[in-house]
């Protein structure tokens, strides 16, 4: 009996010790990870202010970014769990649970289990990854400090992220510009072709615009032209190469090279193989050596036309997308001071399917008022419209937008707001719709029937307006 009693007491003491020490271990891990991420963030911000041309250094910087995004995603998730437990302990039933809604979304996965053991294991894994990559950072910092400054860094990261090509640093520096800078053998009568493929609104045109505005590219080519796929199908190849397209850059100074960069943007219909072969043969005969072609499309059909491996763009991973959405939403406000708002924001980010337009529209609404009740009302409206689109079309509105399908919203339970098509264009100020989507959904503008609505205006190149063709009807 004494032996059994001793074993029971030892067992209970071990269980109690495990229960009470695990949160402490998690808390210590959070503090260590927080300190490491601050160091990582300083290194990344300093490196992004340098004109780095070495592809291996750019690759290492990209790896560091990914670990930083994952680290902050981990910290924010742990804070949200802790905040929700505190609010539930206080009897708060109106708190939003970020993981309740997300489990119904098949496109997303949870990074954390609800047990303390799993949380500690995941936290330790992230901490080890950041520690390992920081071991070689002293040499990395010494190397990139030798590169000249690129610009003056803004005082707050949200000012930079809101006006940069977020998440596409490696694609621009490592792939596209390297392809354009390659010198072709003058004896070879061929033109390099790079296909860029990706879903709608993933950032293909934005990537290309940043490339052709790069100083290195403009010094390498004497002329840069952007044409559409429709012009290829309706014009002869020689006429199209000489007379069509929008000239986005032209160097009128006398110089020896006469290299041309042609950018072909396909909307949906891709040129057939016979037409493309005719166009490419004309390009090789007419264009000077060193001229290049970049093709963009949502269809994989253009991959077979490339002379080099295609660049495939995908939406940002969940960790990077959350970092982007959180930064532009909270701005200069420290999001760590608002864990309940972080919980609501992370739940919305999980449903937006990596959409940059969705992130900018919703961040514009939320940043107007950093109060929990206002965010809860916006989340309820957000959920209601997700359920509406899923019941009507089988998918939420962000997936429908990426597929260019119709989507539906409710306006104060009285009107139905249906977007049946949308497009992006560089419009003149007179052609831009005055009514925004925010005006319609909040009911601040009373209108009915067919109209055009401004979804969002891009703040970075190529500064496009995203316009929706809509109809508003009474329920």
Question: For 389-399, what is each residue's pLDDT tens digit?
Answer: 999 999 999 99
Q: Which of 88-97, 178-187, 238-247 is modeled with the greatest confidence?
A: 178-187
Residue 48 structure tokens: 């992004």
CA distance 283 to 359: 40
Residue 230 structure tokens: 């429709």
Confidence of residue 282 (pLDDT cuts 50, 70, 90): confident
Sheet containing 192-197: which strands, arranged edge to edge?
246-250, 223-228, 260-265, 292-297, 192-197, 311-312
Least confident interval from 71-80, 93-102, 122-131, 367-376: 93-102
CA distance 450 to 318: 36
Which residues on adjacent β-strands are paired with residue 411? Answer: 415
More confident residue, 453 or 231: 453
Encode pLDDT of 25-69 as tens digits. Answer: 566 788 889 999 999 988 888 888 787 777 788 888 888 999 999
Angle at 178 between CA 197 and CA 52, to 5 degrees: 115
Question: What is the enclosing helix (H) or strand (E) of 260?
Answer: strand 260-265
Secondary structure (3-state) at 206: helix
pTM of the model: 0.78
More confident residue, 166 or 303: 303
Task: Let me know: does 347 contact 102? Beta carbons within 8 Å.
Answer: yes
Task: Let me know: does 66 contact 320? Beta carbons within 8 Å.
Answer: yes
pLDDT of residue 320: 92
Secondary structure (3-state) at 454: strand
Encode pLDDT of 206-253 as tens digits. Answer: 889 888 988 889 989 999 999 887 777 666 555 556 666 788 898 876
- The radius of gyration computed from the CA coordinates of the chain, to the nearest angstrom, equals 26
Least confident interval from 71-75, 119-123, 210-214, 361-365: 119-123
pLDDT of residue 323: 94
Secondary structure (3-state) at 149: strand
Q: Is the pLDDT of residue 193 over 70?
A: yes
3-state SS track over 76-102: HHHHHHHHHHHHHHCCCCCCCCHHHHH
Cβ of 37: how many Cβ atoms within 10 Å?
21
Secondary structure (3-state) at 123: helix
Q: Is the pLDDT of residue 24 over 60?
A: no
More confident residue, 428 or 288: 288
Task: Let me know: does 67 contact 129? Beta carbons within 8 Å.
Answer: yes
CA 77 to each of CA 110, 235, 301, 336, 342: distance values in angstroms, whole numbers, following the listed order:
10, 55, 40, 11, 9
More confident residue, 341 or 442: 341
Cβ of 343: how many Cβ atoms within 10 Å?
25
Percent of the chain whose pLDDT exceeds 90: 32
Q: Tell me the mean pLDDT in the region 270-278.
A: 84
pLDDT of residue 20: 40
More confident residue, 102 or 264: 264
Q: Tell me the mean pLDDT in the region 191-195.
A: 94
Return the DSSP state at 465.
Answer: E
For the chain, how many residues are written? 475
pLDDT of residue 49: 78
């Amino acid at each position: 009996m004494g032996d059994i009693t001793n074993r029971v007491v030892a067992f209970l003491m071990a269980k109690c010790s495990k229960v009470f020490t695990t949160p402490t271990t998690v808390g210590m891990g959070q503090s260590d990870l927080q300190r490491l991420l601050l160091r990582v963030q300083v290194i990344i911000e300093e490196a992004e202010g340098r004109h780095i041309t070495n592809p291996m250094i750019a690759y290492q910087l990209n790896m560091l970014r990914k670990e930083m995004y994952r680290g902050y995603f981990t910290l924010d998730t742990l804070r949200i769990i802790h905040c929700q437990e505190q609010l539930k302990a206080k009897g708060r039933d109106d708190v939003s649970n970020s993981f309740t809604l997300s489990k119904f979304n098949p496109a997303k996965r949870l990074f954390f289990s609800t047990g303390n053991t799993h949380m500690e294991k995941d936290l330790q894994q992230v901490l080890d990854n950041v520690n390992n990559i920081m071991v070689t950072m002293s040499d990395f910092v010494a190397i990139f400090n030798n590169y000249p400054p690129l610009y003056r860094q803004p005082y707050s990261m949200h000012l930079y992220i809101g006006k940069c090509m977020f998440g596409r640093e490696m694609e621009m520096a490592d792939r596209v510009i390297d392809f354009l800078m390659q010198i072709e053998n003058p004896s070879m009568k061929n033109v390099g072709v790079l296909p860029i493929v990706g879903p709608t609104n993933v950032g293909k045109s934005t990537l290309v615009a940043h490339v052709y505005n790069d100083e290195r590219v403009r010094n390498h080519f004497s002329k840069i032209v952007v044409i559409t796929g429709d012009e290829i199908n309706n014009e002869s190849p020689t006429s199209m190469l000489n007379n069509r397209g929008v000239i986005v850059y032209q160097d009128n100074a006398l110089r020896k090279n006469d290299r041309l960069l042609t950018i072909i943007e396909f909307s949906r219909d891709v040129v057939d193989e016979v037409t493309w072969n005719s166009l490419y043969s004309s390009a090789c005969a007419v264009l000077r050596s060193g001229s290049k072609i970049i093709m963009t499309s949502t269809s994989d059909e253009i991959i077979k036309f490339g002379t080099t491996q295609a660049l495939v763009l995908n939406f940002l991973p969940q960790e990077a997308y959350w970092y982007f959405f959180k930064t532009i939403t909270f701005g200069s406000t420290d999001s760590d001071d608002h864990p309940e708002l972080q919980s609501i924001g992370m739940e919305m980010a999980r449903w937006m399917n990596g959409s940059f337009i969705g992130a900018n529209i919703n961040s514009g609404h939320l940043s107007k008022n950093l109060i929990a009740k206002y965010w809860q009302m916006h989340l309820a409206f957000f959920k209601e419209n997700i359920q509406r689109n899923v019941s009507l079309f089988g998918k939420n509105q962000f997936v429908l937008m990426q597929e260019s399908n119709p989507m539906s919203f409710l306006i104060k339970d009285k009107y139905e707001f249906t977007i049946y098509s949308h497009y992006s264009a560089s419009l003149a100020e007179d052609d831009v719709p005055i009514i925004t989507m925010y005006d319609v959904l909040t009911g601040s503008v009373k209108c009915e029937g067919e109209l055009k609505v401004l979804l969002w205006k891009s703040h970075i190149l190529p500064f496009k307006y995203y316009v929706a063709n809509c109809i508003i009807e009474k329920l």
